[in-house]
Structure 1
Amino acid sequence: MFSERTLRDDVETVRATHAPDCLVLDADNDFETIPPAAAEDLGLLADSLDPATYPTEWLPDDSPALLVRYAGGTFTIGMPGDGTVVWTRQTSPPTVIAKKRAEGTPEGFLDFLFAEAFVQLGLDVPEHFLPFFGERYRDLDRAIPLGPADVYQIAAALYEAWVGLQTRAVFRAWADDAPRLHEAWVDAGERLEGRLTDLPSAVATGQTEFPAATEFACSAVKHDLDLPAPFAALDTEAYVEYGSDYAVQWAEKTFAQLVEE
């Protein structure tokens, strides 16, 4: 199911700088979550496997089944909401995997996605939003008066914003160090700007549901774009410092205001 991937020189330089030991693989099919048996095939390429396990007490009773499985120790690579390129530390060394659909992704943007994965690995951030929120995931669930799938979507978006606050300084520096990757980063951000500006009105008129709006706004953080309210409150170093506590507080305030309106 997996084959080793050769990287272009500038992407290889990013890997060598941020995640020098990681494996880089192509998957021969698309996946949301790699089937456990196929995931275990990684053991043929990695030195060892170390499935993640998290306390069930972190999970609300109505959590999506995939999240329950992920927390329970089943070897799970990839989760809903993950992009074309995913990474994991559940292997030793860590592994970065491109899904089959990467074959249709423009070359420059795909290289950016690989480079982004290496930077994230180098930051040593959690692999998923669940260990980011930890026991506070229940508090987030209580703060959001929506169903479990919507809570999941918002949690994943908030985690992405927190990571993006930390990666974007590296991306900015590529203007000098890796201009081709910097250009891909800038171009991807420019493609978001128009819809980002229109996001408040899209939510107000019901064209975009709030979870989807949160996902879109949070995806713009790594591109260093100006966010509209209420998402602008996430674009702060305080979020980097306080992490899940800040995210839960933001959700509590935001949904309290939405209810009042």
Structure 2
Amino acid sequence: MNSPPPSFEVLTGAASSPVILHVPHSSRAVPDSVRAGILLDDGALATELDHITDAHTAEIAEAAADRAAVRPWRFVNRLSRLVVDPERFPDEREEMLAVGMGAVYTHTTHRERLRPAGFDARPLVDRYFHPYAGAMTRAVRERLAAVGRAVVVDVHSYPTERLPYELHGAGPRPPVCLGTDPFHTPPDLLAAAEKAFARFGGTGLDSPFAGTYVPLEHYGTDDRVTALMIEIRRDAYMSEPGGPAGPGLHALAAALAELVDALTGP
């Protein structure tokens, strides 16, 4: 049997770069031990992965890093979010529990059962969620120690048509949605992103997805850590759902590299 893939990977950037490109939802990999606890048959699981995976976002981040004048750091989840979702709270603070999509999902994008009633999520949280959060915290600490600031840019995608699990999907679905935080997203960061992605027909704010990822150690208290979420509508670069990437991938990578360069300067 093949050994399981690593849970996540930190890919080295330039020592002078404050930027961490965070790619949490790009993988389809589900270890056999986790697959055993999922109720879907192989065909249904493949369909769910088509809908839930932010396909090709790791490739967008990699291509952007290759193009950037100063190479950013990358933190890439190598397992599917059906294992754990590292961007959720693992407790009752998580609003997505209402649709069975907290740190460990119990339901699918179409609100069908993914795991059995009474499923104990704690082993997955201990095995995957907490180590991921700890490693991301260390990555931010290292950027603060090296350059005095850290900029976390989440790289996501979202479907053109609203899926049933979306709690706030009734609003606009722009080609590029910029998720913000009132404390960690300063105006200059937002303006740089709006400029970089303007070529795709405009950007929108916090719809259909809002917020940013910041380690809890720094959240709401450390303004040296800034953050922005980039949500790319999938028809801009790929066939939906779960299909191949098209030429839009390279254009998006160029825009993301432009943003990285803007954020790397003084």
TM-score of the pair, normalised by structure 2: 0.32
> Which of the two has greater strand per residue?
2
> Which of the two has greater helix per residue?
1
TM-score of the pair, normalised by structure 1: 0.32
